[in-house]
């Protein structure tokens, strides 16, 4: 594909993306996302459907106050209703009140929808399209027409589907966008149909809007671009109704890095990882590590042979340099690891190791033994560093546990249980004995331990628990099954994860908590020395 081709990126995260299950952005969330998308350099940001709800009304009022540098705001709506004029149509008038430089109108292009959903004559639908587009074009800078269900409509009645595009173009539409609304079209069908449309309508300005119901959202978009589409619509991380929309976090690097298509600049492509994770954080959904390009696992290497090769030549197991999209290479350690994994990971943690040093084998053997017991260090770098430094003799035990007791009391049937923990620790010959109450035995134990140690290590007051997860490792053992506890902690500056394993959930939690404290104290000591 020629590097002279240029494609405009049209983001629909704030409308289509919010139609995804479990996704809801506040007005402030949407405004923050606008800022990030502008930094990324997308050409158009569709803000929502003004007039459909109070939240979008407020958003369009607030977004007027933002000065965008790279992007243009678009408001979305539908063609006017059948029986009234554009002047009387609340939806059309709401679009004008939004005062965006761009308006996108969706209309029916599948005859089946016209006759069975709108229940009007086919020619009436064409007149509605012409009337709506021409009305808005006279009052707005740019107007786009989203031809809903275009590919299904074209396969059933190509003449009518084309007629809807002609009506929009005659009315002044700047781009006609072909929508795979049901997400079931195959890539070769998309390429063929887009090519035919371009030929029959003498190369009109075409856009592509695909859904991912057949896992083809990205592929269909790329095939449409190959066939001549010059505008691409999609969402960050592929959020959207049902199975989602085409994922811009895959489309953009595929266009720019693989096909050489001008869309956004190389320096802005490097912001993809940051933008992807920023938007994801606002969804409050569990992380998806395996997303191409921007996922935490996109450039993660676990097998020993892979790591050995990547350390010599990264392209042996990486299709691009992760830095091009703002991501980074990660080497995981597990029972599949080789010496190379240990050396590479230790270097990441600030520990220089010689691959021939016997301690590397010692670390590897200990790691495999612990993973056989149920430990998993892929998501617990802090516990891994504590383990490595212990085996290197670089670990000083910060305290000695002299005893701990936990009492869980439930006084009446409907009362919430009360948990109390007492802890006795020794630091440099000094014994501290404290107690704490919590909303559960682990919470009480954590409170008592910190209360005891903060007298000796005041910096532990900064530690906050961000996440606590429990997973049953061995099934089939009932309530005495082995469990793995993963804890994520933060001191307001850094975050780290630790792991503990035991048949007793409190003991597993204790191990993870102690590793968290050990890591914090070790890190602070190294930083003060540096």
- In the chain, domain spans: 8-283, 300-391, 400-529
Q: Please list the residues that pair with 433 across neighbouring strands.
A: 424
Of the candidates 274, 316, 279, the residue with the CA atom closest to the CA atom of residue 299: 316
Cβ proximity of 175 and 197 under 8 Å = no
Per-residue pLDDT, averaged over 458-471, amounts to: 88
Helices 358-373, 339-348: inter-axial angle, 10-degree rounding: 90
Q: What is the pLDDT of residues 465-520, one digit of tens each?
A: 888 888 888 655 555 688 899 999 999 888 899 999 999 999 999 999 999 999 99
Q: In this predicted structure, what is the pLDDT of residue 2?
A: 45
In the CATH hierarchy, which top-level class contains the domain 400-529? alpha beta
Where residue 396 falls among pLDDT bands split at 50, 70, 90?
Answer: confident
Q: Please list the residues that pair with 257 across neighbouring strands.
A: none
Q: In this predicted structure, what is the pLDDT of residue 4?
A: 59
In the predicted model, what is the mean pLDDT of the chain?
90
The continuous run of DSSP H or E covering 145 comes out as strand 142-148
Q: Please list the residues that pair with 45 across neighbouring strands.
A: 11, 73
CA distances to 265, 286, 373 from 410, rounded to whole Å, are 62, 33, 34
Cβ proximity of 142 and 174 under 8 Å = yes
CA distances to 15, 231, 259 from 255, rounded to whole Å, are 23, 12, 5
Q: What is the pLDDT of residues 374-392, one digit of tens each?
A: 888 877 888 888 988 888 8
Q: Kindly report the three-state secondary structure assignment for every residue of 17-82.
A: HHHCCCCCCCHHHHHHHHHHHHHHCCCEEECCCCCCCHHHHHHHHHHCCCCCCCCEEEEEEECCCC
Q: pTM, whole model, 2 decimals?
A: 0.75
Cβ proximity of 90 and 64 under 8 Å = no
Q: What is the pLDDT of residues 179-232, one digit of tens each?
A: 999 999 999 999 999 999 999 999 999 999 999 999 999 999 999 999 999 999
Q: What is the pLDDT of residues 30-89, one digit of tens each?
A: 999 999 999 999 999 999 999 778 888 999 999 999 999 999 999 999 999 998 999 999
260 Ramachandran zone, left/alpha/beta (phi>0; psi -120 to 50)? left
For the ranges 116-125, 153-162, 281-290, 378-387, the maximum mean pLDDT occurs at: 153-162
DSSP classification of residue 493:
S
Cα distance from N-terminal residue to C-terminal residue, the chain: 51
Can you say whether the dihedral through the CA atoms of 12, 15, 19, 25 is positive or negative? Answer: positive
Phi, psi angles (nearest 5°) of residue 518: -55, -45
For domain 8-283, the question of CATH label 3.20.20.70 is answered with yes
94-103, 255-264, 515-524 — which is least confidently predicted?
515-524
136 contact partners, CB below 8 Å, separation of at least 6: 86, 92, 95, 96, 103, 105, 143
Dihedral of CA atoms 135, 138, 144, 145 in degrees, nearest 10, equals 20
Q: Residue 134 pLDDT more than 50?
A: yes
């Amino acid at each position: 594909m020629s590097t002279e081709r240029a494609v405009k990126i049209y983001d629909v995260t704030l409308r289509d993306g919010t139609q995804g299950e479990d996704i809801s952005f506040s007005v402030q969330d949407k405004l923050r996302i606008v800022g990030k998308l502008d930094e990324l350099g997308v050409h158009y940001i569709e803000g929502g459907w003004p007039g459909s709800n109070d939240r979008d009304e407020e958003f369009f009022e607030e977004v007027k106050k933002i000065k965008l540098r790279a992007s243009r705001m678009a408001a979305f709506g539908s063609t006017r209703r059948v029986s009234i004029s554009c002047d009387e149509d609340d939806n059309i008038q709401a679009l004008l009140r939004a005062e965006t430089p761009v308006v996108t109108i969706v209309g029916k292009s599948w005859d089946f929808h016209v006759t069975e959903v709108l229940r009007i004559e086919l020619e009436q639908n064409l007149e509605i399209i012409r009337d709506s587009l021409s009305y808005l074009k006279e009052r707005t800078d740019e107007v786009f027409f989203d031809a809903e269900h275009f590919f299904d409509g074209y396969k059933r009645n190509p003449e009518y589907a084309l007629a809807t595009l002609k009506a929009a173009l005659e009315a002044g539409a700047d781009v006609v966008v072909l929508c795979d609304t049901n997400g079931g079209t195959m890539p070769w069908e998309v390429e063929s149909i887009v090519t035919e449309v371009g030929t029959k309508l003498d190369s009109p300005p075409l856009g592509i809007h695909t859904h991912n119901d057949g896992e083809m959202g990205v592929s269909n978009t790329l095939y449409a671009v190959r066939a001549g589409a010059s505008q691409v619509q999609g969402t960050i991380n592929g959020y959207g109704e049902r199975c989602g929309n085409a994922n811009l976090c895959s489309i953009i690097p595929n266009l720019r890095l693989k096909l050489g298509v001008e869309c956004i600049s190389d320096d802005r492509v490097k912001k993809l990882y940051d933008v992807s994770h920023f938007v994801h954080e606002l969804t409050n959904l569990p992380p998806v590590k395996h997303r191409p390009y921007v996922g935490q696992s996109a450039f993660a290497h676990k097998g020993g042979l892979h790591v050995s090769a990547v350390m010599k030549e990264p392209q042996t197991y990486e299709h691009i340099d992760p830095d091009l999209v703002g991501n980074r290479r990660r080497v995981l350690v597990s029972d599949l690891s080789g010496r190379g994994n240990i050396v590479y990971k230790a270097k990441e943690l600030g520990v220089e190791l010689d691959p021939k040093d016997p301690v590397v084998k010692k670390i590897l053997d200990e790691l495999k033994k612990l993973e056989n017991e149920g430990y998993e260090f892929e998501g617990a770098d802090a516990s891994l560093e504590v383990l490595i430094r212990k085996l290197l003799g670089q670990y000083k035990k910060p305290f000695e546990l002299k005893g701990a007791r936990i009492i869980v009391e439930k006084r009446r049937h409907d009362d919430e249980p009360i948990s109390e923990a007492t802890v006795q620790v020794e630091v440099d010959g000094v014994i501290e004995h404290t107690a704490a109450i919590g909303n559960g035995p682990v919470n009480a134990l954590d409170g008592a331990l910190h209360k005891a140690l903060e007298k000796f290590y005041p910096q532990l007051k900064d530690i906050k628990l961000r996440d606590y997860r429990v997973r049953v490792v061995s099934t089939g053992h009932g309530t005495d099954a082995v469990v793995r506890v993963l804890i994520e902690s933060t001191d307001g500056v850094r975050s780290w994860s630790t792991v503990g394993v035991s048949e007793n959930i409190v003991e597993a939690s204790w191990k993870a908590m102690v590793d968290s404290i050990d890591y914090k104290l070790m890190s602070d000591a190294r930083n003060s020395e540096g």
